[in-house]
Structure 1
């Protein structure tokens, strides 16, 4: 056993010095309260002791991160007390795992939908009898997510051992089979696969040393943080109230100024729009002059009305059916047309007509061009 003690002494040195001060001890204790995923990411833990039966001895190794270091070969009759005395306080705190031999476990690769990630074990309970010759009641099983494919499916590796074989192999560890934190499977390279076949009821969770004292210190820290947050919040609330009072004192004046400014903006915008509209439209005098030039001398008007962009002509003419052609091509309007049927007037022996047209803007080059084209077409 002296060789075993020398080997363990070297590995104790690799663990680094123990907590030499209150703050170092407290930091290590607080780290044990973090979730397991955080501890792994921060590199605070993850080490464990692995045990595997080899012939008449038990091989003990130390898993440091992803590296497995052989420590010693122990007699099969070693007890947990003997192991604790042999390891010392530092190594004895590491969780103990059984490393299931590679040839003992049945491994399968599966593709599962991404939604199965949250309840992976429940899904595998239904898939186990389809993927292995075992049922969920006849096997110890677990799985790990190897990766996520581009189609969002999970690449999962299932590991299962028949329950009877699992119990028999676990009993070969003797007294060390008690107090295990898990049972992993050895892969082809001798490293743990990353699963835990040990039933949850049989797993031993690590307890932080001096847990009561840790709870008191954590409570004090939480109370201090809450008090500091309350003080900051109270200061911010007082500052916000003072600022709100200053804002309210000037709010009425600001609203009046904003209302007057909006009225001025609306007035300027309305005036600008009215001026632009008036500037674009032809004047009534221009429309009357254009109508007078285009109507024949034997035609007279009873009414000329301009309503918005609509020009309406009502009058009498012996050639009322030809007035539409005469009014086409004007740069001041477009789409002249008779509105309704011609009505013969026996008194004047003329036809009473009603014509409408759509007024154009003065500066509408497209309309002017179209009007010119219409005039050229008539010629």
Structure 2
């Protein structure tokens, strides 16, 4: 499992680096130089863009095994090759061709399947060969057919040394399949980035690895900080709950020791004083009304007396903030010897008599 993860990670790094490099190549305008192979070690160099190098004529040279051109290139050609994109057009007779076929379902894994069989398809091991594949074509029996082109890595090494020594940005090799095999198909054998491009190819994977490692370290640090803060908050919450429980226990204890006092205080606040009820009643009743009886039971008051207009007393008591739900509890009568009407009124007492009570 670990080996598969490492391989997947390396493949992802390479794919991202290749994508970034491709974007950089599109943004950067580079001169294209073509090296046409004449025979095994002889080449002709020409500029791929005539407009940019109208003053430079094609030049032929022989390449030594150490990557040195003979005769040496002119300063103008050396300057033209610096930071350029070099494309080597190789002779078909210097390249090995093999037609291979695979099941149609293997179309997405062709490179890996060919790499695993390169020592069987060519005279070289996988690390000693450079190769390319043509686009797959449909074949009989639900299979796909493609052309493999390969050559020895030792053959292209002097070309890579030449391009690197002259400061080229990259060098690639292509070959055209002979007409009797697959007419006119061009296969790219290798593509090597050099100089600034090579440093970029190295820096991008390092940058990606650094970003992933940094992200992992940041995530681990965040998890550790959150765990520490969570444990600290839990401890503080338990401490607060413990102190709250102690405070509640103390309050319950105080309530138990002074329950009688609290009962008296509650009764005082909930029960109206007879003196204050009498005072509030005297303020509410008119001067022409006389009270003969007054009874107070809990929050209910009953008053009996004489007045000139008994129904108006109900309204006067209701207007007082100390009385509510005033009503007659007995019929109103008028005797011949009485100076007015005899009323019987009861009302509920509100145990609040001003802000100072």
TM range (shorter): 0.3 to 0.5
Question: Which structure: larger Rg?
Answer: 2
TM-score for both structures, normalised by structure 2: 0.33
